C-alpha cells in the first residue's frame, strides 16, 4: 500500500471535484450498453459509478427505476416506496430522474419532508415499521447513495419489503432488465416531467427524521447516556445524518456536540484518505484526522459516512478504534445487556471479520453465523430475530431493539455510534478500554488487508478456487485446520478462499471493481506472524491462479 503525500492532510484545492462539470456529465453522457464498464452492475451495495466515465448517468437511473417498477409489478409489491438521498452531488439529480419514472408508473412514492437528506437506516426503519403486521400492500425502498465513495461517485440501491439490501436473485433481475432498457436506448421507460411528478397524486411526504429519532429510545438506553452527562462528539462527515444528530441531542437532552455541520458536495472539509482520494470513510484513520484531533475534548466521539450506514468510534484513550475491534466489543456488550433478546439469537459476521468475534461468541454461548461479504446475508435473520447482531469488517452493523424485535435490516451507522455512548455510561470505560479488557481475556488480534495485482483472468480463477487446489498443509508455521470456499453459516460461495490455522487465518478475494485481489489476514500471535501469514498467503494464491 503506497501512501499518498496528501494522506491525512486537509484536501487541497486541486483534489476537489468540479461539481458543475459532474452534474452536466450526468445529464449529457449516454452510456453504451455494449461496453461492460458502462452497463448497470449491482455489486454488494447496488449500482455505483461516476458520470465522468459513463458509469452513472441519467440513463442508468432511468433504466434502473423502470426495472424496479417492473420488478414490483411482477412480485405484486404495491405498497409505498420509501426514497432517500444522501449528500453526494449526483444524488439530487438522480433522485429527480428516479421520481419522474416512478410517478409515471403510478408508484406511491414517499419523499422526505422538506427534501431532507435521508440516511440508509432511516429508509430501512421506515419500511419495517410500515410493513409490521401487514401481509399485503407491502412497502419497499430506494436509497440513492454511493456510500463512503469519493465525491464524483453516484449510487443506487434497492431494498425489498424485508427492509435490507436486495438479495442477488433480485439485483440480477433488475440489472438484466435495466441493461435491456439501456440497449434499447430507453424505449420502454415511462417518464413524466419533474414538475408533474412532484404534483402527482402518488407523490407523498414522510417525516423520516422525527420518526427515526423518536424511536431510538427502543434500541439504545438513551436515559443512561443522559444521566451520565457524557461529553459526546459527532462528525457527520457532511452526510445525510447531519440534522439527525442535532435532533437526537435536543430530543434526548444529550451533551452532544456536532463538530461539523457543513454540507458541501466537494467534501472540501475532509482530510485525504491513504490513496490521495477524498473518501468519507469513518473507519480510515486518514479520513478521520479531524475528529481524532479532537479526541481529548470528548468522553467518546463518533462519525458516520454520507449515507450513515457505517460508523467510526473515537476515544480519548485509544483514538480511532478499528472496525473489527469495535464489532467484537459491541457483541460482547449487547448480548450481556439485552435480556429480552431470544436465547437462541445468534451473532452474524462476514468471513473476513475478526476471529475475535468467534471467541466472543463462544464465551457468551451464542451461535456464530458466518457469511460471505455483503450485509444482505443478515437481513432475514435480523428481520425474524434469529440474529441479535449482524456486522461486517467495513464498519457496517445493525442489531435488534431492546425487546428483541427488528430495528433495521440494513447497516445503521447511528445506533453503533450511540451504543458506544451507552456502554461508556454504563460501564464507566470507553470502548477502547473495554476492548483491552476483552483482549486480556481472549487474546489480541493483529490484522491487515493488502492488495495485489491480478489480471481479469486471474481474478476469475481466484473466484472459482476449490479447497483441494491448495496443496500446502502448513501456513506460517502452523498446521492448516480448514480451507473454505463457501461460508459456513449459509454455504454460499465466498468468491475466493479462506485458510485457517489455530492462531491465524487469511482470506483472498478478487476485487469487483479493480484489477487486484485482496488479502485479509489476522494473527493472534503477533506482528511477525502476521507478516509471515501475508507473505505465504500471496505465494499460495499466486501459485493457485498462475
Active-site amino acid positions? 147
Sequence-ordered alpha helix ranges (H) in 76-192: 91-104, 120-131, 168-183
CA 420, CA 430: separation in Å to the nearest integer? Answer: 7
Which strand ranges, in their side-by-side order, compose the sheet holding 319-321? Answer: 256-258, 232-235, 300-304, 311-315, 319-321
- Closest by Cα among 351, 323, 348, 324 to 335: 348
What helix, strand, coil percent values describe the chain, rounded to 5?
40, 20, 40
What is the three-class DSSP state of 98? Answer: helix
- Closest by Cα among 352, 456, 374 to 170: 374
For 252-316, the DSSP string reads: HT--EEES-----TT-TTSBB-TTS-----TT-TTTTHHHHTTGGG-SEEEEE-TTS--EEEEET
Q: Phi first, then psi: what are they for 494, rounded to 5°?
A: -90, 0
CB 376 within 8 A of CB 164: yes
Taking CA atoms, 89 is separated from 152, 198, 289, 317, in Å, by 7, 20, 23, 36
CA 80, CA 280: separation in Å to the nearest integer? Answer: 31
CB 518 within 8 A of CB 533: no
Residues forming a β-bridge with 155: 48
Question: What kind and span of H or E run contains 85?
Answer: strand 81-85
Is residue 195 classed exposed, middle or buried when 0-12, 13-18 and 19+ CB atoms within 10 A define those classes? exposed
Find all residues with CB under 8 Å of 197, minimum gap 6, and list them.
Answer: 99, 100, 102, 103, 104, 203
CA 140, CA 163: separation in Å to the nearest integer? Answer: 7
446: left (phi over 0), alpha (psi -120 to 50) or beta: beta
Amino acid at each position: 500500500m503506497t501512501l499518498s503525500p496528501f494522506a491525512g492532510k486537509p484536501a487541497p484545492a486541486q483534489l476537489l471535484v468540479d461539481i458543475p462539470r459532474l452534474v452536466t456529465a450526468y445529464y449529457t453522457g449516454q452510456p453504451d450498453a455494449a461496453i461492460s464498464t458502462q452497463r448497470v452492475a449491482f455489486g454488494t451495495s447496488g449500482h455505483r459509478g461516476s458520470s465522468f466515465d459513463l458509469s452513472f448517468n441519467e440513463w442508468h437511473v432511468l433504466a434502473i427505476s423502470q426495472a424496479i417498477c417492473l420488478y414490483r409489478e411482477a412480485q405484486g409489491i404495491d405498497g409505498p416506496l420509501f426514497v432517500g438521498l444522501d449528500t453526494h452531488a449526483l444524488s439530487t439529480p438522480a433522485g429527480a430522474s428516479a421520481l419522474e419514472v416512478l410517478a409515471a408508473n403510478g408508484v406511491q412514492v414517499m419523499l422526505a419532508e422538506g427534501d431532507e437528506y435521508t440516511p440508509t437506516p432511516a429508509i430501512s426503519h421506515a419500511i419495517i415499521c410500515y410493513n409490521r403486521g401487514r401481509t399485503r400492500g407491502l412497502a419497499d425502498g430506494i436509497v440513492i447513495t454511493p456510500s463512503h465513495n469519493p465525491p464524483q461517485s453516484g449510487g443506487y440501491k434497492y431494498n425489498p419489503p424485508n427492509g435490507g439490501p436486495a438479495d442477488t436473485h433480485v439485483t440480477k433481475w433488475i440489472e438484466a432488465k435495466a441493461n435491456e432498457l439501456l440497449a434499447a436506448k430507453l424505449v420502454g421507460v415511462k417518464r413524466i416531467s419533474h414538475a408533474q411528478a412532484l404534483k402527482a397524486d402518488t407523490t407523498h411526504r414522510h417525516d423520516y427524521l422525527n420518526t427515526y429519532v423518536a424511536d431510538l429510545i427502543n434500541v439504545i438506553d438513551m436515559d443512561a447516556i443522559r444521566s451520565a452527562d457524557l461529553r459526546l462528539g459527532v462528525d457527520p462527515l457532511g452526510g445525510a445524518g447531519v440534522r439527525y444528530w442535532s435532533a437526537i441531542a435536543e430530543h434526548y437532552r444529550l451533551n452532544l456536540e456536532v463538530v461539523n455541520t457543513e454540507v458541501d458536495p466537494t467534501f472540501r472539509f475532509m482530510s485525504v484518505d491513504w490513496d490521495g482520494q477524498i473518501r468519507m470513510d469513518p473507519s480510515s484513520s486518514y479520513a478521520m484526522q479531524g475528529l481524532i484531533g479532537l479526541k481529548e475534548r470528548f468522553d467518546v466521539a463518533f462519525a458516520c459516512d454520507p449515507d450513515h450506514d457505517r460508523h467510526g468510534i473515537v476515544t480519548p484513550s485509544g483514538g480511532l478504534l478499528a472496525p473489527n475491534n469495535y464489532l467484537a466489543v459491541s457483541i460482547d456488550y449487547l448480548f450481556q445487556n439485552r435480556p429480552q433478546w431470544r436465547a437462541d439469537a445468534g451473532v452474524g459476521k462476514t468471513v473476513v471479520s475478526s476471529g475475535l468475534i468467534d471467541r466472543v461468541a463462544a464465551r457468551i454461548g451464542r451461535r456464530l453465523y458466518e457469511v460471505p461479504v455483503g450485509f444482505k446475508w443478515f437481513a432475514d435473520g435480523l428481520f425474524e430475530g434469529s440474529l441479535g447482531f449482524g456486522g461486517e469488517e467495513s464498519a457496517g452493523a445493525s442489531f435488534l431493539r431492546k425487546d428483541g424485535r427488528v430495528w433495521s435490516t440494513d447497516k445503521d451507522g447511528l445506533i453503533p455510534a450511540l451504543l458506544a455512548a451507552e456502554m461508556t455510561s454504563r460501564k464507566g470505560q470507553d470502548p477502547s478500554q473495554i476492548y483491552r479488557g476483552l483482549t486480556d481475556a481472549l487474546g489480541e488480534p493483529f490484522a491487515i488487508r493488502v492488495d495485489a495485482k491480478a489480471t481479469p483472468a486471474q481474478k476469475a480463477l481466484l473466484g472459482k478456487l476449490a479447497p483441494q487446489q491448495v496443496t500446502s498443509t502448513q501456513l506460517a508455521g502452523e498446521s492448516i485446520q480448514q480451507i473454505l470456499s463457501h461460508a459456513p453459516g449459509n454455504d454460499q460461495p465466498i468468491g475466493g478462499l479462506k485458510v485457517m490455522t489455530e492462531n491465524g487465518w487469511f482470506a483472498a478475494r478478487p476485487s469487483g471493481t479493480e484489477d487486484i485481489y485482496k488479502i485479509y489476514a489476522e494473527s493472534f500471535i503477533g506482528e511477525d506472524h502476521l507478516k509471515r501469514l501475508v507473505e505465504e498467503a500471496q505465494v499460495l494464491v499466486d501459485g493457485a491462479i498462475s
